[in-house]
Amino acid sequence: MDKDTIVKLAEIVDTAAMNAEPIEMLTASYPELDLERAYDVQRASMARRFNRGEKLVAMKMGLTSRAKMEQMGVHNPIYGHLTDEMMRSNGDAIVRSEHCHPRVEPEVAFILGKDLVGPVTSAEALDAVEWVCGALEVIDSRYKDFKFTLIDVVADNASSTRFFLGETRKRPEDLDLGNLGMVMELNGKVAETGSSAAILEHPARSLAELANMLAERGEKLVAGQIVLAGGATKAIHVDTGDHVHLTVQDLGTVDLFVE
């Protein structure tokens, strides 16, 4: 697949995200698109955002739970890029009309105190973490009727759209990071319960995997960057008027509204 095609596909996914207009999966028209090239499309779509003035502030891991991997028939997680334009403050609202079919998932996020260059072990990855907090990620696949392959999702920046961090920050050594209980409520009713253990068995493993996948491309995570480790439960659909409230053991709460 040549560079012009990568740039064209990046324009298609970026425009779909900007206009909240669902598209057919790319692999239907470009069956030669493979995982490597899909990450090229993801980077080319990010380059378009950076040209519009957005700044990279975070990375995310996706498809980190067994349930989600089985659902997609894959064995490896994926990653995506998150910008300042995607970040919202705890308690803010997302705008329903800016999204195709938004869903929300409960996560744990890291804030790095040091650069992190793979290959690393989970322990080495954790050593680069300054703070841990709870997070809500809003994902919004741009594909019509949720029909896509893993390759399509990667090209679509792992369905990234918005993310919210909790205000409570803890050092990793002050938490039972591998088994934090999480309860996600929708409009005052418990919608999902889970544990951070569902995030690749330990969120630190997810962080290490991310550093290792980036290292394959000669890239690294840098001090100050945020990393969303992945969803601990299924994502829930949200619509106008909804309120999602997440409680993470020892990490307080995170709220988002849909307007």
Rounded-to-integer distance, Cα 235 and Cα 198, Å: 13
Q: How far is the CB of 9 from ligand 0L1 (least distance, A)?
A: 17
> With CB cut-offs between 5 and 8 Å by kind, which of ligand 0L1, Mg ion, none does residue 166 bind?
none
List the x/- string, 222-241, binding to Mg ion by CB under 5 A: ---------x----------
Site for ligand 0L1 in 103-132 (CB under 6 A): none
Query: H/E element holding 8?
Result: helix 3-19
> With CB cut-offs between 5 and 8 Å by kind, which of ligand 0L1, Mg ion, none does residue 141 bind?
ligand 0L1
* Residues paired with residue 193 on neighbouring β-strands, in sequence order: 183
Residue nearest ligand 0L1, Cβ-based: 62
Question: Does 140 participate in binding Mg ion (rule CB under 5 A)?
Answer: no
Q: How far is the CB of 140 from ligand 0L1 (least distance, A)?
A: 7
Question: Does 203 participate in binding ligand 0L1 (rule CB under 6 A)?
Answer: no
The amino acid at residue 57 is: V
Structure-derived torsion over alpha carbons of residues 213, 226, 60, 126, reported in degrees to the nearest 10: 50
Can you give the three-state secondary structure of 199-232, one letter per residue?
Answer: CCCCHHHHHHHHHHHHHCCCCCECCCCEEEEEEC
Compare residues 1 and 197 and give the one whose CB is closer to Mg ion: 197
The amino acid at residue 168 is: T
Question: Does 141 participate in binding ligand 0L1 (rule CB under 6 A)?
Answer: yes
The amino acid at residue 14 is: D
Q: How far is the CB of 74 from Mg ion (least distance, A)?
A: 15
Question: Does 137 participate in binding Mg ion (rule CB under 5 A)?
Answer: yes
Token code pair at residue 143: 């594909």
Rounded-to-integer distance, Cα 235 and Cα 223, Å: 29
Question: Does 159 participate in binding ligand 0L1 (rule CB under 6 A)?
Answer: yes
> With CB cut-offs between 5 and 8 Å by kind, which of ligand 0L1, Mg ion, none does residue 192 bind?
none
> With CB cut-offs between 5 and 8 Å by kind, which of ligand 0L1, Mg ion, none does residue 185 bind?
none
Among 9, 196, 231, 248, which residue interacts with ligand 0L1 (rule: CB under 6 A)?
A: 231
> With CB cut-offs between 5 and 8 Å by kind, which of ligand 0L1, Mg ion, none does residue 158 bind?
ligand 0L1
Stretch that binds ligand 0L1, among 62-70, 81-89, 108-116, 202-210 (CB under 6 A): 62-70
Non-local (6+) Cβ contacts of 210 within 8 A are 59, 61, 79, 221, 227
Question: Does 62 participate in binding ligand 0L1 (rule CB under 6 A)?
Answer: yes
Exposed e or buried b per residue across 106-131, where buried means at least 16 C-beta atoms within 10 angstroms of its C-beta: bbbbbbbeeebbbebebebbbebbeb
CA distances from 69 to 66, 149, 241 (A): 5, 12, 30
- Interface residues with ligand 0L1 (CB under 6 A)? 60, 62-63, 68, 137, 139, 141, 153, 158-159, 231
